[in-house]
Structure 1
Amino acid sequence: MKTTLVLAMTADGKISDTTKSPPTFSSERDSAHLEEQIALSDLILVGSGTLGDGGSVVLVQKPELIRARIDRGLPTQPPQLIASRSGKIDAGLPFFSQPIDRWLLTTTEGAKDWQNRDSFSNILICETADGKDIDWQAVKSKLVELDIKNLCFLGGSELAASLFAANFIDELWLTVCPTIYGGSDAPSPVSGAGFTPDNAPKLTLLSLDRVEQELFLHYQVQK
C-alpha cells in the first residue's frame, strides 16, 4: 500500500492563517491537481479536525476522472476515512449528507457513539495497547487486508506528525503558493511535538513543476 500526502501551503509554510480559516491562497490549477490525486486513490484519509474546519470533503467532479474510475472498476467517489481517536465528530456537518461512502478510524472508546448508527459504513478500530491512541501499524495491516493499494492523505497537521513518526507516508505532493501569511500561531503542514535532526523524515525530490506562480513538488519519503 502506498500513502500519499497531498497539500498546499503559502511561501512561508502555512496551511491557514491565525484564525484557522479555510485556505484560499491556492489556484484553480492546484484544485484540479488535488482532484486528480483523489481520483487516483482507493481511499481518502482525513483528520477529524480538518473535516470539522471545512465541514465537507473534496469530491471528484470532472466527468473524465469519474469515467476513469469506473473503467478501473472503482466507485465514482473513493471512500472517506475520518481519523478520530475520540470519535467526537459533529453529526450535523455537511459531510454526512455528501454522496460518499464514509468510514471511521478510531479507538474502542471513540467508536461507542457511532456503532448503532448508519453514519459510517465501516468502523475500523486500531488502537494502541492502552486504548488511548490509534496504532498506525495496525491501520496499515488492516487496509492491506481490505485491498487498499493507494491511500491519499489530505491532513491535518497533528495527524501528519503522527503518520510521519510512524513511517506511514510514502510520497508527498506539495504545492507552494505565492502568499505570505505569517503568524506564530498559524498552522503549518506538520505540527505535533516535532522531530530532532537525527529522526527527522528525509525526502527525495522526484519532480518539480512551475505553473505560473505556483510550484508543484513531488517527493518520496526516504525509508
Structure 2
Amino acid sequence: MVQYRPHTTVVLAMSADGKISDVRRSPARFGTGVDKSHLEQQIAASDAVLIGAGTLRAYGTTLTVSDTVLLQRRQQESKPAQPIHIVITHSANLNPEIRFFQQPIRRWLVTTTSGHNFWQGRSEFEQILVFETPTGEIDTIAVLQQLTSLQITHLVVLGGGELVASMLELDLIDEFWLTVCPLILGGATAPTPVDGKGFLSQLAPRLQLLEVEKVEHEVFLHYRLQR
C-alpha cells in the first residue's frame, strides 16, 4: 500500500448482475432515495470527491450535500459546506456548458499537460493539478500524495469502472460501499464497478465484509480491502 495518501472509499450503486450502467452507458438512476441518501452521507464525510470524466459526462452533475444535519455536522467539524469535487481525466475533454460547472462547489482538475492547456486561464477549475508519467499517463500515486499535502485525508471515489480498476491495480483503495439494486441490466459491454484489464483469480484483490444492511429491496455492502 502506498503510504502518505488519503483514506480512499469507492461508493457505487450496481444492478444485481454487477453493472453500474446499461450498454448505452446511460446515467445510472436506478437507486432509490435511500441509496441517494447513503451516497450523500458518504460524500458529506469526505474532504474531497474524485470522479472520472466518463461518469461526469454521463450525469452532467455531481451530488452535493443538501441535508441540514449533514451540513451542520460539517460546520461543527470546521469543514466547508461542500467537499472539493475533483475530476480526473487524461484528455480533459469536458463540455464547459454542463450543469456541473454551475453547481456551488469547489472544482479541481487532475489531468495531463495536454489537458491542462485547454483549461488554462479559465475560471471553471479552482486548481489544475498536472501529474504525468513518462508515457503520458496520469501518475495517480503522485496525485494522491499531493492531495494529502493539501489536507485531503478522506477521499470518496464515485467511478467509473476504469478509474476504480486503475486505482485498485495500484493498491490505492481502502474500502468499498456497494449498493445492490433489484434489477438486471446484462450486456457484455455494460460497465461494471471495476473494468480495466481485470485480475487473475490468484492475484485478485481480496475483501473483508464489514457490514450488510437490507433496506426494502436494496442491499448495502461495506467492504474493506484485505492486505
The alignment's TM-score, normalised by the length of structure 1, stands at: 0.97
Cα deviation, 1:20-42, whole Å, max 9, x if unaligned, reads: 11123211111100000000000
Q: Which runs of 5+ in 2 are unaligned?
A: 1-5
TM-aligned CA deviation for residue 198 of structure 1:
2.8
Indicate the residue corresponding to 1:23 in structure 2.
Answer: 28
Indicate the residue corresponding to 1:194 in structure 2.
Answer: 198
Indicate the residue corresponding to 2:37 in structure 1.
Answer: 32
Separation of aligned partners in 2, 1:18 and 1:140: 31
TM-aligned CA deviation for residue 190 of structure 1:
1.1
Indicate the residue corresponding to 2:128 in structure 1.
Answer: 123
Residue type of the alignment partner of 1:180: I
Mean Cα displacement is larger for which, 154-163 or 14-23? 14-23
Separation of aligned partners in 2, 1:52 and 1:115: 20
> Is 1:142 paired with 2:143?
no
Q: Percent sequence identity over matched residues?
A: 47
TM-aligned CA deviation for residue 200 of structure 1:
1.5
> Is 1:166 paired with 2:160?
no
Separation of aligned partners in 2, 1:113 and 1:206: 43
TM-aligned CA deviation for residue 98 of structure 1:
0.6
Q: Secondary structure at the match of 1:112?
A: helix
Indicate the residue corresponding to 2:226 in structure 1.
Answer: 222
The alignment's TM-score, normalised by the length of structure 2, stands at: 0.95
How is 1:50-89 mapped onto 2 (pairs within 5 angstroms)?
50-89=55-94
Separation of aligned partners in 1, 2:145 and 2:185: 39
User: What is the alpha-carbon root mean square deviation over aligned residues?
Assistant: 1.0
Separation of aligned partners in 1, 2:60 and 2:112: 22
Separation of aligned partners in 2, 1:129 and 1:102: 26
Separation of aligned partners in 2, 1:19 and 1:134: 26
Separation of aligned partners in 1, 2:159 and 2:129: 19
TM-aligned CA deviation for residue 129 of structure 1:
2.0
TM-aligned CA deviation for residue 88 of structure 1:
1.2
Aligned counterpart for 1:176 among listed residues 180, 200, 203: 180
- Runs (4 or more) in structure 1 with deviation over 3 Å come to none
Residue type of the alignment partner of 2:209: L
Q: How many residues align?
A: 222
Q: Which runs of 5+ in 1 are unaligned?
A: none
Separation of aligned partners in 1, 2:97 and 2:171: 34
